[in-house]
Amino acid sequence: MIRIRLLLAATALPALSGCVVAPVSVSSPTSTPRALTAPATVDGVPAGMQYLYGSGESAAISLQMWRGLTDYVARQVRARPRDSVVLAPGATLAVPRYQACGAKPFAAVFDVDETVVLNLGFERDAVGGRPYEEARWKAYERTGGTTARAVPGAVAGVRALRAMGVAVIFNTNRSTDNAAATQAMIERLGLGPAVPGDTLYLADAATGSRKDSRRAAIAARYCVVAMGGDQLGDFSDLFNRGQTPAERRAATEAPAIAARWGAGWFVLPNPVYGSALKGRLDEVFPADSAWTPEP
């Protein structure tokens, strides 16, 4: 998961009026945090957090995703696919090609944060609009695991996958320095085993937030039949190479990639932070979408 923090908030307006949604804090480990304004909230909590961490709708989507994923994997295991769902070296989003399966054992690959784990402690501490700080996140990695919760459906999902003979592998941008704490957190939540270098892949100085090389290493060992994440970078680094929001969205909708969603690639909602939360008004809303009510 790309650690670009954007706390999504909504301004509550009178009944029957619209709702204005805007990112209220932006920072990253490689840039200077920008000046912040007080976050607009609903009942004191940013709306994105209300949705992801508190709503029944978010829980329902998570349960739905995990059911769809395990059903899909069961069909793939029976069929023994020729190709995995990991893009091969040299593939593009316009012309995707995938790593061959051969006789390799099956695996499913998942991001960790906001994919199998909800970071309640870290996000609760950020409710007041605190900008993302790398040191604070690393401290949470080390000591905040007891405040995390499993994503609805994740524990049953990973157990079902293992019962099919599918290895469950975690590919996260958490730090190798805190590998033991991350392993303990995953296993405490009933999602393990998670063994660093085997079923738990972490970020290091060489890969940073890029995951393609880790995915390639996993696909060299396994026939990867499904991947799950909350950011497009959990499926391919190609989504994060200098594209505008409109270009990124178009890439996900193009026929070659559109066929992959729900059929090997499975996305969970995350309106709280990450690479999805960007775009000026004219990037989010095209010119022909403008509407003004009659007086």
18 pLDDT higher than 50: no
Q: How many CB atoms lie within 10 A of CB 99?
A: 22
E strand residue ranges, 176-272: 200-203, 223-229, 265-267
Q: What is the pLDDT of residue 40?
A: 52
Question: Given pLDDT bands bounded at 50, 70 and 90, which one contains residue 128?
Answer: confident
Please give the CATH number for the structural domain made up of 61-270. 3.40.50.1000
Least reliable range by pLDDT among 4-18, 89-103, 104-118, 166-180: 4-18
pLDDT digits (tens, 9 = 90+) for 150-181: 999 999 999 999 999 999 999 999 999 999 99
Q: What is the pLDDT of residue 189?
A: 98
242 pLDDT higher than 90: no
148 pLDDT higher than 70: yes
Reading the block at residue 160, the tokens are 């079902």
Reading the block at residue 31, the tokens are 């840039």
On average, the pLDDT of the chain sits at 87
Residue that is written with structure tokens 């006789």 in the block = 103
Measured in degrees and rounded to the nearest 5, phi and psi for residue 252 equal -70, -25
Q: What's the rounded Cα separation, in Å, for the pair 19 and 5?
A: 22
| Domain coordinates in residue numbering, the chain | 61-270
Parallel/antiparallel/unpaired status of strands 149-150 and 117-118: antiparallel
Q: How many helices (H) and strands (E) does the chain have?
A: 10, 11
| 54, HSE (Cβ side, Cα atoms, 13 Å) | 12
